[in-house]
A = this chain, B = another copy of it.
Amino acid sequence: MTGTPREQARAQTMADITRIGRDHLARYGAAALSLRAVARDLGMVSSAVYRYVASRDELLTLLLVDGYDDLADAVAAALDDVPDAAPGERFRVLGRALRSWALAEPATYALLYGAPVPGYRAPAERTTEPGTRVVRLLLDVAARAHEAGTLVVPQDEAAPPALAAGLEGVREQFGVALPDAVLTRGVLVWAALFGCVSFEVFGQYGPDGLGDPAALFERHLAALAADLGV
């Protein structure tokens, strides 16, 4: 909270823009996100907002990074609440936190994990780090179980060279020492988790959600925990 009055005012305006942007995102969805509407809510003329945000795409990037962080914070907080639980339970906690957040923030979730907004390319240098925090937490759960010796390692055949190189890249990027088979399952479980949540959030289960979406998800979590070996 330091700096000249002008800097403070600028920081405040930036915060206001993100706040109102998130609100519009939740209320009307990503494609309907309009810089002019945000400007109106801000009590500014539209051209003035361009002093702060270069384009509509940059506003989307702002909200994207914000969303990734918010989700990762929620999942990390849930995991911190059960630091000493068994790996399987920690995995389930992660999954439940992900699902809760997605159901509470469907529009932001759609921005992060739905179809990319057309014509919009997320700048990797700004989104990669926050975007990988959740999978990092997932791999961490597996890594802890592996260190404790409780992880069930599937007996897959050796990965082809290109895939093995890719998995080695994952080990480096995330700083984990898990065997190929576990990493492969980890990626599957990660994708499956988001598949389950996406189907529920995007309504692919139909209007009634198969009667009891929470119970269904809990069963899926149990099966996925087994797949992960925790």
Contact of A31 among B118, B198, B227 (CB under 8 A): B118
Min CB distance A184 to B, Å, is 5
Indicate whether A30 sits within 8 Å of B118 (C-beta atoms), given known contacts A204-B113, A215-B162.
yes
Q: From residue 165 to 203 of chain A, which have CB atoms closer than 8 A to chain B?
A: 165-167, 169-170, 184-185, 187-188, 190-196, 198-199, 202-203
Interface code A92-136, partner B: CB below 8 Å = 1, 0 otherwise?
000000000000000100110111111100001000100000000
CB <8 Å contact, A31 and B212: no
CB <8 Å contact, B118 and A211: no
Chain B residues within an 8 Å CB radius of A156: 219
CB <8 Å contact, B198 and A194: yes
Contact of A166 among B118, B164, B198, B212 (CB under 8 A): B212
Copies of this chain, whole number: 2
CA distance A114 to B203 in the complex (A): 11
CB <8 Å contact, B195 and A29: no
Asked whether A82 is an interface residue with its Cβ less than 8 Å from the other chain, the reply is no
Binding site for B on A (CB under 8 A): 28-32, 107, 110-111, 113-119, 124, 128, 154, 156, 159-160, 162-167, 169-170, 184-185, 187-188, 190-196, 198-199, 202-212, 215-216, 219-220, 223-224, 227
